[in-house]
Amino acid sequence: MAHRAQPLRLPGPPRVPGAVAAALVAGLVLGPLAAVALRAGGGFAPGPADWAALRFTVTQAAVSAGLSVLLAVPVARALARRRFPGRAALVTLLGAPFLLPVIVAVLGLLAVFGRGGILNSALGLAGVDPVSIYGFRGVVLAHVFFNLPLATRLILQGWLAIPAERFRLAASLNAPVGRLLEAPMLRAVVPGTLLLIFLLCLTSFAVALTLGGGPRATTVELAIYQALRFDFAPGRAAALALVQVALCLAGTLLALKIALPSAFGGGLDRRVQRWDARGPLWRAVDAGVIGAAALFLLAPLAMVVARGAPGLADLPPSIWAAALRSLAVALVSAALTVALALALALRGGRLATVAGTLPLAVSALVLGTGLFLIVRPVVSPLDVALPVTVLVNALMSVPFATAALVPAVASAEAAHGRLATSLGLTGWPRLRLVLLPRLRRPLGFAAGLAAALSMGDLGVIALFAGERQETLPLAMYRLMGAYRMEAAAGAGLLLLALTLALFWIFDRGGRVGADA
Amino acid sequence: MLTLEALRLRQGGFALAADAEVPPGGIVAIVGPSGGGKSTLLSAIAGFLAPEAGTVRWDGRDLAGLPPGERPVSILFQDGNLFPHLTVAQNVGLALGPRLRLSAEQAGRVDTVLSLVGLAGRGDDRPGQLSGGQQSRAALARVLLSGRPLILLDEPFAALGPALKDEMLDLVAGELAADGRLILMVSHDPQDALRVAERTMIVADGRVSGPLATAEVMADPPPALKAYLGR
């Protein structure tokens, strides 16, 4: 009997969990979104304060993105063409701000640039009036602190992607490297980098909460929080949440036109061999640029350690309780993220892509508002503060974890899928014997990333928690609000150590004994 | 008996037709120009490629719809025949079932087959710790243990040097072919065919022909093969 050719559906890894995970992600994103949309339907007209928040959000995101990229270009160029002791460490350090709890960074920035910080002390000695980093300037400063390293890594990737032969050819022709090689590379890399940072800054909450505020420096995210928490105006919060969703969607649509770069490029420790820029002036410029960037990144962190160490000994017991709560939230949330992302990655295809990207269309505070509106008629928001935080943190990490796992599953299947299929390895045995062992590194990385992001998160928890549900970042924020800066610094150091330790343990666990 | 019944295969723009009966037992070489469809033919028999039309039968049973792991077929590819993260014994043990929960008796059978291919005592090593020839032996041990009656070799020894390759071919002829299994062996070297295969099938010009006695094919090759052999 002849039968028609059909695409052969070979038995592969389990697919059902992926469908369940996609449904869960979709439900957890679209459910709160629907709650927000329903509540906002009451004919709410935005007032001047709301328009100001929208303007501020877009302006600060644009300025932050522009400044980050502008400063990142010379740093990336210097790192691409120089080799010096500590270069690899510095490149690794450029990946750290992604994991750094926002509130810890803010504390460090205040210690350097704040009213009583190093900078103003020096200015005072020189007889110059102190500068304030609250408001627009502070928000942009903090965003540049977080995104300059990211931009540098992305642009450095562009530099290292220029084949060495091109530089050799340019040198042999005595051609201008900048115009011939570097400008075209920058034209290709910069737009995506700008857009990525712009998008990240659009949903900024913790930075605006700590350094912004007031009518002139409130982001939409912060306005949602204030509407819900202080004005107790759920209708207004819901309307603002819709504005935030529109912002995110517009950004995401823009991102479809300009390819976003991958934030986790490896192999950045190479150096491009160059025959130009050898003069002492260029060397001095590059050394200055690298030194300034390192100082800008390291000084705030050093200040957190220096000011936090004395405070560690007499941290109030409530801080230790908060730390335990944070650890629990981080671990559960990381487990949930990894389970969802792994299920999606195993299934693959369009479903995984859509479900893996969906959380990017909403912000943490939008989800929080929706969940708040859903649970409030049933239970007190206080009672579900931690579970809701776990859920939202897990969801917000799903896109990063999926992005790490999807290509890893694809390459493991490409390398070993045929053999596994020929041996009848399907379903769970295939997962247990073939895929999980091959996925250890990205799994460890994804778990570490999700745990660190959740550990440092100051977002939804601020919306829901009372004193008894405080996580460590929230407790720290409240200490800062009460001007108990020493205790806050101690809590900050504890938070920093726990966050980095969580990431290190998971990431390391994925590497030790894993086959190349 | 392997029966290819009005089989039509298509992969991209490439098409291959086969009508053949291959009686069981012994080694059948599959020769022909590269890009001629030798691997495509094995893919279809192994169940990785659905035929456009026609049937693959083993002992009269239509194999259509059977996934690769449930066919009476073992296949060795050009590379990647061992999982690098599993031990040699685990890799071989996969022949006894995909769950890899081996009884003491089964573990003993793994040890026996490892000694048979000259890998006694290497069961706890990872494939990366073995030489290329030893890796081939480990893969052959798994095929041997699986006991499936039809074995497809898609040039698994291509990366080995000439002496090692001959050693592997002799191992195939001595151990695998011994129990009346049918072995289809893709080769681009006529010497391989002459060395171990009594029969030869030719895959060229979009057609599969044979099997014929290897000595006759090589003495008086049909035109398509003649050009490939350079005569």
Q: How confident is the model at residue A344 (pLDDT cuts 50, 70, 90)?
A: very high
Report pLDDT digits (tens) over A152-180. Answer: 988 988 888 887 778 778 777 777 777 78
| Degrees to nearest 5, angle at CA A171 with A170 and A176 | 55
pLDDT over 80 (residue A335): yes
Report pLDDT digits (tens) over A41-89. Answer: 666 677 888 889 999 999 999 999 999 999 999 999 998 888 888 888 8
Q: In chain A, whose CA is at the least distance from the CA of B81?
A: A419
Give the CATH H-level superfamily of domain A16-41+314-516.
Answer: MetI-like (1.10.3720.10)
Put simply, the answer to whether A11 touches B98 (Cβ < 8 Å) is no
Place of tokens 């009460």: A482
Put simply, the answer to whether A10 touches B48 (Cβ < 8 Å) is yes
A436 touches chain B (CB under 8 A): no
Q: For the ranges A13-17, A265-269, A410-414, B204-208, which has the lowest average pLDDT?
A: A265-269
- Residues in B touching A4 (Cβ below 8 Å): 52-53
Among B50, B53, B69, select the one facing A423 at the smallest CB separation: B69
State the best of A1, A4, A6, A8 to mutate against chain B, taking most chain B CBs within 10 Å.
A8
pLDDT over 50 (residue B187): yes
Average pLDDT of the residues of chain A = 86
- Residues in A touching B81 (Cβ below 8 Å): 419
d(CA A328, CA A451) in angstroms, rounded, equals 10
| Degrees to nearest 5, angle at CA A337 with A335 and A338 | 65
- Residues in B touching A438 (Cβ below 8 Å): 85
For residue A271, what pLDDT is reported? 63
Give the Cβ contact number of residue A59 at 10 Å.
13
State the best of B85, B129, B154 to mutate against chain A, taking most chain A CBs within 10 Å.
B85
CATH ID of A46-309, from 3.40.50.300, 3.10.20.90, 1.20.1260.10, 1.10.3720.10 = 1.10.3720.10
d(CA B107, CA B122) in angstroms, rounded, equals 13
Put simply, the answer to whether A10 touches B50 (Cβ < 8 Å) is no
List chain A domain ranges.
16-41+314-516, 46-309
Report pLDDT digits (tens) over B196-208. Answer: 888 889 888 888 8
Report pLDDT digits (tens) over B74-117. Answer: 999 888 889 988 899 999 999 888 888 888 888 898 998 898 88
Q: Do domains A16-41+314-516 and A46-309 have the same CATH topology?
A: yes
The alpha carbon dihedral of A8, A11, A14, A20 has a sign of positive
- Are B30 and B220 a contacting pair, CB within 8 Å? no
Place of tokens 């044979």: B210
- Are A87 and A76 a contacting pair, CB within 8 Å? no
State the count of interchain CB pairs (< 8 A) between A and B: 84
Q: In chain B, whose CA is at the least distance from the CA of A417?
A: B80
For residue B191, what pLDDT is reported? 81
Query: What part of B 54-113 touches A (C-beta under 8 Å)?
Result: 54-55, 62, 64, 67-70, 73-75, 77, 80-86, 90, 94-95, 98-100
ipTM here: 0.84
Alpha carbons within 13 angstroms on the beta-carbon side of residue A397 total 37
Q: pTM value? A: 0.83
Q: What is the DSSP string of A215-257?
A: TTB--HHHHHHHHHHTS--HHHHHHHHHHHHHHHHHHHHHHHH
For residue B177, what pLDDT is reported? 81
pLDDT over 90 (residue A38): no
Report pLDDT digits (tens) over A113-138. Answer: 988 788 888 888 888 877 888 889 99
Place of tokens 């040039």: B155
List B4's β-bridge partners, or say none.
Answer: B20, B56
Put simply, the answer to whether B50 touches A7 (Cβ < 8 Å) is yes
Q: Whose CA is closest to A275, among A379, A165, A192, A388?
A: A165
Put simply, the answer to whether A418 touches B100 (Cβ < 8 Å) is no
- Are B75 and B42 a contacting pair, CB within 8 Å? yes
**Helix count (H) and strand count (E) of chain A?**
23, 0
Percent of chain B predicted with pLDDT > 90:
16
Residue type, A335: A
Put simply, the answer to whether A10 touches B70 (Cβ < 8 Å) is no
Q: In chain A, whose CA is at the least distance from the CA of B96?
A: A423
DSSP A129: P
Report pLDDT digits (tens) over A228-276. Answer: 888 888 888 888 998 898 888 888 788 777 666 655 545 555 666 676 7
Q: For the ranges A343-347, A393-397, A494-498, B31-35, which has the lowest average pLDDT?
A: B31-35
